[in-house]
Structure 1
Amino acid sequence: MNAYQEALDYLYGQLPMFTKVGASAYKTDLHNTVALLQQLNNPQHTFKTIHVAGTNGKGSTSHMLAAILQQAGYKTGLYTSPHLLDFRERIRINGQVAPEDFVVNFTNNMRPFIESIAPSFFELTVAMAFQYFSQENVDIAIIEVGLGGRLDSTNVITPELSVITNISFDHKNILGDTLPRIASEKAGIIKAGVPVIVSETQSEIQWVFRDKAAETGSPIHFADQEWMVDGSLIKDNYLELTLLDTRKGVMHHFRLDLSGQYQEKNVMGVLSAVRLLQQQGWHITWDHVQAALSHVRKLTGLRGRWEVVSEHPLTVMDVGHNEAGIREVVQQLEHVNYQQLHIVTGFVKDKEVDNVLPLFPTTATYYFCRAQIPRALDEVALAEMAARHGLQGRPYESVQAALQAARQHAKAEDMILVCGSFFIVAEAM
């Protein structure tokens, strides 16, 4: 076993990991994060940041912003979670993952301190990312919130600006069981005097953000009130968008390599962020924006957002996993031509699965499976729940077995969709 694998085994084995064990790994204060960062001489204060929260869209938004800043010539850090295939995907600079030896050295050097305070896996990875960005002298880093906002380990920065994408029901056992409560947790990233962009105006909760911004003296922008979609088309796995800048009356045309129609809302948030960065003195042109948005995957390594992995049958992977995410994925299906739809899916136990299942089309053939993590919902139980909502299919013990079965049954003109959780998509890849 090599040193990198040993370090990973230590991190996964020693530290409570939310993605595997759920709420028991979630810490309700920032004490450990602050202690870890003090041990490292507070690296988070040595570079500029943008903080991104939200229920859905925060990953895509973070990657788009990173791509744009990279394209504009800035050395750009990007911290996201969870990862799909390799732990180091969480920590990137200009699209390149952190080197294995950095992970090994950081873990070994911090081990005595780790054992003295017993942080969570996420708390430690946030500290690791900040240390790496500081060590490598990034110009700016895009920091994606892990869960919520107010009590998230990333909420120890004072960013150039904050972005909040979309609020919907997810992690109700931790964040609250109403949209205003969830929004209040997300609004916890709004800092004194720091501008905040809300990508999507949601009438029942916009007051939460307005009140918080008023309290902190933060200029607030609702992106979908600053931009309007004038035209939208999916062509050759690209999303072609024409957007009207409602403030200036100017049209902008963009060609995104993220072809999910749901990216429209995220793009508006990104464009409002770009305008604020320009006002703050960052040299970003609209040519930079157009070039970056057409190469987000290549520039940043983003995967799993309406990702077409083969054409015959059309096979798409999407990490949409909660109510709003699945609704967007299902709406995207309306823009696709296929004969029969095959859906490979599975969930974790603490998702509101009974609220999600009615969103799926009853005409599809289902392959129910479970990822190889303790939190995974049993595939037989999932199949039984799905049947109550008119979804017909068979359970499979693994993602690979389910995907193999779907490929055997699908004809060339059919479609296979893999979705339900990050872990299902990761194992399918």
Structure 2
Amino acid sequence: MASYKETIDYLFAQLPMFTKVGASAYKTDLHNTLNLLDRLNQPHKSFKSIHIAGTNGKGSSSNMLAAIFQQAGYKTGLYTSPHLLDFRERIRVNGEMVPEDFVIRFTEEMKGAIEEIKPSFFELTVAMAFTYFQQEQVDIAIVEVGLGGRLDSTNVITPELSLITNISYDHKHILGDTLPLIAAEKAGIIKPGVPVVISETQSEVADVFIQKASEMQADIQFADQEWMEAQSAIHNTHLDVQILDRAEQQMRTFKLDLSGQYQEKNLMGVLAAVKVMQRKGWKLSWEDVAAALSHVRKLTGLRGRWEIIDQHPLTVLDVGHNEAGIREIMEQLRHQNFQQLHIVVGFVKDKEVEQVLPLFPKTAHYYFCKAQIPRALDEVALAEMGAAQGLNGHAYPSVQAALHSARQHAQKDDMILVCGSFFVVAEVM
């Protein structure tokens, strides 16, 4: 039997992986996924689920919902991507990663199918997750879309509820170069008769969702029209939110252990989803919801969302990497106190880096770096693009070298922010 490391090496080497190579790994139909699932006796039909799409916030929202169902006593599967440190982070049950021996056994048993079907890395991972959820007999699985929605490998499930977080520019070369085109891809997860919650009302795309829901005869609601934030207080380690349930005219208070201010938008979508599931008969008390939201990281293992790894100097990791994600990080920075800001940043080649760089503050010191993957943007090229936008700093061939330099230059009252890509954050971890 192969070891876990040999198995993962085999998967990484054999299967085209979007995160490493980019668009060439993205398949434009569900044929491979359905073929794999047929060979596995259709595990995706054996459990109930919630399906979550969106440009930003789908990972945090998935983890919040998983924490809530877990806290309420349901055996909860969670499928997310990409992973930061260990492949097994993608597939969890009640917060515990899929065991190494399951990954080894599944891969061994599927080698014939892998060689014949030639699936992408993501297609095989989805099949593995659904097989594991079937084996574990989960009560519910929270399933995060990988990319887009309509053609995403996860879009073979018929969930209890679909949730779409927000729409902004990302992967334009695959999903389209206008917000309505991108929204139409995400709206592809809306299924006949399955209710859909949209976290955020965005005027330029709201009609795309309304039209698709109408075609599918699916109930649709916009969470930020049902819940209204009354006030919030941002702390280093948590976020206090008071929020009004408009239908019941009742104020609810939550303490979130995910401390980015941008979590307020995700929270509304999650709370709207909870109400839909309550109406469907799931026993989710508001006490359980509040308890879960205060311990999401502990319950599900979520990392990399405004994650503080050091206090002096304050050092924060955030996986935000596209225009909307970076805007949210910059908004959060306005609530921080520091003398000088040091930013360790690297991107992948297919991001719209030209659009994102103008959002960064010109007063910070920059440490431009490159993650150790083929898709990473060259650090010298990035430094030159930064300089053209008035961002001054130096280029470093690795994330570790950049962080080391930032730590050497930072005083204890300064702040170090690491962002730009999942892979940059992963290398710091």
Question: TM-score normalized by structure 2?
Answer: 0.99
SS in 1 for 2:335: coil
Partner of 1:416: 416
Deviation at 1:2, TM superposition (A): 6.4
SS in 2 for 1:350: coil
Q: How far apart, CA to CA, are the structure 2 residues paired with 1:80 and 1:204?
A: 28
Preserved contact between residue 2 and residue 104 of structure 2 (Cα < 8 Å): no
Q: Does 1:159 align with 2:159?
A: yes
CA shift in 2, pair 1:71/1:403, >3 Å: same
Q: How far apart, CA to CA, are the structure 2 residues paired with 1:338 and 1:289?
A: 34
Q: How far apart, CA to CA, are the structure 1 residues paired with 2:420 and 2:50?
A: 28
Partner of 1:74: 74
Q: Taking every aligned residue pair, what percent have the same amino acid on both sides? A: 72
Partner of 1:168: 168
Preserved contact between residue 372 and residue 398 of structure 2 (Cα < 8 Å): yes
Give the AA of the match of 2:45: H
CA displacement 1:343-381 (0-9 Å, x = unmatched): 000000000000000000000000000000000000000
Partner of 2:118: 118
Partner of 1:232: 232
SS in 1 for 2:242: strand
State how 1:99-248 maps to structure 2 within 5 Å: 99-248=99-248
Question: TM-score normalized by structure 1?
Answer: 0.99
State how 1:329-348 maps to structure 2 within 5 Å: 329-348=329-348
SS in 1 for 2:374: coil
Partner of 1:404: 404
CA displacement 1:60-109 (0-9 Å, x = unmatched): 00000000000000000000000000000000000000000000000000
CA displacement 1:8-41 (0-9 Å, x = unmatched): 0000000000000000000000000000000000
Deviation at 1:175, TM superposition (A): 0.1
SS in 1 for 2:22: helix
Partner of 2:262: 262
Deviation at 1:235, TM superposition (A): 2.7
CA displacement 1:92-150 (0-9 Å, x = unmatched): 00000000000000000000110011000000000000000000000000000000000
Q: How far apart, CA to CA, are the structure 1 residues paired with 2:387 and 2:231?
A: 39
CA displacement 1:282-332 (0-9 Å, x = unmatched): 000000000000000000000000000010000000000000000000110
CA displacement 1:209-264 (0-9 Å, x = unmatched): 00000000000010000001101001351100000001111000000000000000
SS in 2 for 1:208: helix
Partner of 1:393: 393
Partner of 2:64: 64
Partner of 2:29: 29
Q: How far apart, CA to CA, are the structure 1 residues paired with 2:350 and 2:5?
A: 29
CA RMSD of aligned residues (A): 0.7
Partner of 2:13: 13
SS in 1 for 2:367: strand
Q: How far apart, CA to CA, are the structure 2 residues paired with 1:248 and 1:175?
A: 38
Give the AA of the match of 2:30: L
Q: Which runs of 4+ in 1 moved over 2 A?
A: none
Say how many residue pairs are matched: 429
SS in 2 for 1:284: coil
SS in 1 for 2:231: strand
